[in-house]
Structures are given as C-alpha cells and as structure tokens.
Structure 1
Amino acid sequence: MKWIFLLLSLLIYSCQELPKKYQTPEGKKILEKYKKQYVKGVVILDDKLKEKIPKGERYLIIAVMKEGSSRPVAVLRVKNPDFPYRFKITGKHKIVPEDFIEGKLMLTARISKEPTAGFKRGDLYGFAQAQAGDEDVKILINQVFEEKEK
C-alpha cells in the first residue's frame, strides 16, 4: 500500500506545470542556460609523451575557462587516470556557484604529480576549444611544461 501511495505522489508531483516565471521567453532562456552547463569529451595522451607520465601518484586536472578569461570556471581533478580518459564537467565542478559554464570555452588538461593549481615543471598538458553543451571535445595532451629561467 505504501508503494502505491509513493508512486501516485511521484506521478502527481512530476505532472506539475513549470512555475510561471519559467514559462516566459526570458524564463525559458534561463532554463536553457542551466541545461547547457556542461562539457563532455575525452583526454588523449600523445604516444610520444607516454614515457614522461610521472611515476607513482599523479593527477589529471581539467580546467574550464570562459574565452578571454584566465580564471577557471570549473575544475575536475582525477587521481591516477587511465588514458584515453572520458570526462563530463558540470555545474557541480564550478568553483563559484554563481558562475555559469556558458558560451565559448577553453579547456586545459594537465597531468601533474600534484593536484594543485598552476603548472609545474615537467607537467604534461594540452588545450581544446569548445562551446558549453558540447559532447565530443577532444583534448590532446602533447606538450611538456618547462619553466623559463629567471
């Protein structure tokens, strides 16, 4: 009997109309903005760099930045990943909850011994451009970071 009540409650609740503020053209734009707050794809490691992967514990850090910004909107950290690595970065990975993953984006994928922000000498990395909502982004890690002499 409890299951029937639960099922009926769920059915009634799921059939409710959207609140009026989201039925307007402006409200629909807001909902669409929330729906596209993600980017999916795969990180591929260039065969030439496979021997340069750090031994032991390592991290894959994928940062998402809006075009023209140097501050990430979202970051995904993965400990000891296998490649190719499939990813999906969503609103739950945002640094500041009020920010949006929207418009043109720049993605950086980096393999490092440390899960910290910023490149370190010997990190392997690559870039890709995308649009919010893209589902087939390919990031090729094909470069080695070398610090410049001061």
Structure 2
Amino acid sequence: MKYLALFCFFWGIVSISGCDKELKEHPLPESLKKELARKADPTIHINDVSGTILLDPKLNVSLNPSAGLFIFARPEGVDAGPPLAVKRHSIFKFPFEFEIGQLHTMIEGTQFEGIMNLTVRLDQDGNRKSSPGDIEGKIQITAGQKEVQLVLNNLISGDAYNIQGTVDVSVGLQNKIPENGTLFIFVRSEGVKRGPPLAVKRIPDIQFPYEFTLGTQDVMVPGTIFEGPMVLTARIDIDGDARAGPGDIEGFVGAQPGDRKVALLLNHLTP
C-alpha cells in the first residue's frame, strides 16, 4: 500500500510537469492573448448600449427554426456599407435583453461612440440579409445609453424590394423604334454576364416613356432571392424572342432592390 501511494505521488508530479511543459511548448496565440486582454479592459464597456427588444403583438408571425436575431449599429447619417458593430443571437425569446458595444465593432480600431442608428432584424432564414417575411425595428441612440426599448414592428414585404423607374429612348434612336417591338426588362446580379436573368418582364404594345416595376414577383426561378447589387437592362426586341439581335435597342443601369425613380435610357443600337 505504501509503495502504491508513493507511485501515485510521483506519477502526479510527472503529469503536472508534463502539462506545464506542454503549455510552455504551445503558448496561446498572440491574437488570442490580445482578444483576452481587450475583453478584460475595464473601460471597454463604457459606451455599451443595452436595453430590451420587443416584438409588436399586432404582428401575428411564427418563427422559422433557423431564425436569427441581428443587431446592427451605424453612425448617424450612414445608411450603406458595413455596420459599425453587429451582434447575432440564435437563441432568443421576447422580450429580449440585449447589449452591443465596442467588443462588437467589425473593424479593429473603429470607435463605438457618438449618435447612432440601431437596427434590429428578426431574420427568418438566419442569413443576415433582409428579405420578405423578416421583421425590423429601428431607433436612434447615443453610445452608452441604457434601458433602450426597441420594438420590432416593420414586417418586410416583397414590395419593399421592387425596383421602380422609367424607361425611355434617346432622341437619336427614337426613329429606330420598331412598330411591333416588344420591351424586355430584366436584371442580373452584378458581374454575371451569361445565363438566365434573375428576373424578367415582357411588355408588348409599349409607349415611351414607360414606367416599370420589377421585383420578387418577376423572378424566373421560384424561391430565388431578389438581392443586389444588380445590372438592370431594357431592350426593345424586333422579333420578340428576348435574345439580342440586329436592330434591337438596349440600355443598362446599375440598381439595388428597393431603388425608386430609376432612369433607364435606351441609347444603344445593336449592329
């Protein structure tokens, strides 16, 4: 029994020494050390914003099992590009207590400060991109503000992603408009040159200027997400088969889902 106790004692010492040696041989990565030190900084939470997220009871919605709750912060006046800070929750229940701050900034070195617009999105498919069926809420806050109450009360509809505008023909090509031409309006994702368009609309018996709406209702493959950036194309087609041919008149313009008052000028004659 005595020898067994001595054996266990020495084995414990050897094990501890081995673990200590392994830690020395495999130190923590510098990036992890910096992150741990950053989180331990007592000043890091000074400008945190916290409060409660509520779901408007008037919205009778059911949650998708893959739904996610996203919280975005952007500086006042900034509506595009990456947010200043973002936080995602996959497990949540309303009312939901939240907190967002310096630890959640997307770009190292940026400061979570000043007046900001806070957006919360209940994203039904959990992919962070806004789409029909998602619910949003927005409020303006100041860094460091507490007891914020933000209500999810805006149900995103398919119409919110429609692109609307006017198609017209340049003065120099108006005498080239065929009598029985068909107008095609379609979009492709930016950078995509070939293959079926994302969405398309065919308009016979046209008169210019022509006011159009193109959106999720016009996608070629059901279930396809209507998202940008996109290139919007309009073509007056002589034979009506949608493929470009001699004598067709075309125009192009960049667009984003939800754009309004888009001006698409047909100013190119296909040779």
Q: Distance in 1 between matches of 2:213 and 2:60?
A: 30
Contact in 1 for aligned 2:63/2:124 (Cα 8 Å): no
What is the aligned partner in structure 2 of residue 135 from structure 1? 260
What is the aligned partner in structure 1 of residue 122 from structure 2? 28
Contact in 2 for aligned 1:126/1:143 (Cα 8 Å): yes
Match of 2:62 among 14, 19, 29: 19
Contact in 1 for aligned 2:234/2:250 (Cα 8 Å): yes
Match of 1:68 among 178, 182, 191: 191
Contact in 2 for aligned 1:66/1:101 (Cα 8 Å): no
Alignment identity in percent?
Answer: 31
Q: CA deviation at 1:88?
A: 0.3
Q: Distance in 2 between matches of 1:30 and 1:116?
A: 38
Question: SS where residue 163 of structure 2 aligns?
Answer: strand
Q: Distance in 2 between matches of 1:30 and 1:120?
A: 43
Structure 2 gap segments, 5+ residues each: 1-57, 71-120, 133-156
Q: CA deviation at 1:37?
A: 3.4
Question: SS where residue 131 of structure 2 aligns?
Answer: helix
Larger Rg: 2
Which letter does structure 2 place at the counterpart of 1:43?
V
What is the aligned partner in structure 2 of residue 53 from structure 1? 177
What is the aligned partner in structure 2 of residue 8 from structure 1? none
Query: Normalising by the residue count of structure 1, what TM-score does the alignment of the two structures yield?
Result: 0.78
Q: CA deviation at 1:30?
A: 4.5
Question: Aligned-residue CA RMSD in angstroms?
Answer: 2.3
Runs of 4+ residues over 6 Å off in structure 1: none
Q: Distance in 2 between matches of 1:30 and 1:39?
A: 23
Which letter does structure 2 place at the counterpart of 1:66?
S
Contact in 1 for aligned 2:64/2:124 (Cα 8 Å): no
1:111 matches 2:111: no
Relative contact order (alpha carbons < 8 A, sep ≥ 6): 1 or 2 greater? 1
Contact in 1 for aligned 2:181/2:236 (Cα 8 Å): yes
